[in-house]
Amino acid sequence: METFNYMVVDDDRTNNLICKLLIQKFDADAEIKLFLKPEEGLDYIENFVDKPTVLFLDVNMPTMSGWEFLDQFIAFKTEIKDKLHIYILTSAIQCFQKEKETYPFVKKILAKPLKMAYLMEIKNSFSKQL
């Protein structure tokens, strides 16, 4: 079975810690990258991602919002973009209808905190896709 890596981009340390511990518990072999600054996350994607990766992206960050992050991501090469499976992970309780239309490649918008059920669902959709 094809394996995949995980990335978390969020300025909230606690959330990143929760994600790391939960993913480790779900898949002990998975590679998990945590980024507090979205700029660094983008840099990593552009230069280092070489295998399918699930990205949990926060929306509300001081220097760059999740949407701004996606605006830059769109400009990347297709083979890089194809590797990323992006999920918005936010504490917001809005529905983000407009953003869903603007960024159709976003797989789903998930409400914090990250849960086992989300990870299961992601893994299932992943295998189906393959």
Partner 1 sequence: MPYHQKIFENLPFPCLLFEKRGENFIIKESNTLYCRVTNSNEEELKGKLIEQVFPQNSFSLGLNEIIESFKIAFKSQQPHKIDVLRYDLYDKENDSNLEKYWEIENIPLLDENHESEYILTVVKDISFEILESKRCEVLQYNLDTKTENHEEFIQRITDGLFSLDLDGNFMSLNKGLIDITETSESELLKMNFLPFCGQDYREFIVKKFNAAIGGKNQKFEAHFISGKGRKMVLEISLVPLKHNGIITGLYGIAKDISKLKESEIALSQSERKFKALVQQGSDLIGILDLEGKYKFVSETSNLVLGIKSEEFIGQTAFDFIHPEDKDRVKLQFSELEIKKQIEIQPFRFKNAKGEWRWIETKATNLANDPSVGGIVTNSRDVTEYINSQKAIKESEERYRSFFENSLDAIMVTIPKEGRILAASPSACKMFQRTEEELCLVERAELINPLDLRLAEALKLRSETGTANVELTFIRKDGSKFPGEITSSIFKDANGDLRSSMIIRDITERKATENNLLKLNKELENYTKELFAANEGLEQFSYIVSHNLRAPIANIIGIADLLENSNQPEEIQEVLLNEIFTNIGRLDDVMQDLNETLKLKADFSKKRESVNLESLIQNIIASNQNLIDNENVSIISDFSSIDAVYTVKSYLYSAFYNLISNSIKYRKPEFSPVIEIRTERQNDQVIIHFKDNGLGIDLEKKGDQIFGFYKRFHNHVEGKGLGLFMVKSQIEMLGGQIKVNSSLGQGTEFIIYLQYNE
Interaction site with partner 1 (CB under 8 A): 11-15, 17-18, 21-22, 25, 36-37, 60, 62-63, 91-94, 111-116
Helix ranges (DSSP H) in the chain: 13-26, 38-48, 66-73, 78-83, 97-102, 116-129
Cα gap 43→56, rounded to integer Å:
16
Closer by beta carbon to partner 1, 51 or else 115: 115
Minimum CB distance to partner 1, residue 46 (Å): 20
Closer by beta carbon to partner 1, 1 or else 93: 93
Cα gap 58→37, rounded to integer Å:
11
Closer by beta carbon to partner 1, 116 or else 120: 116
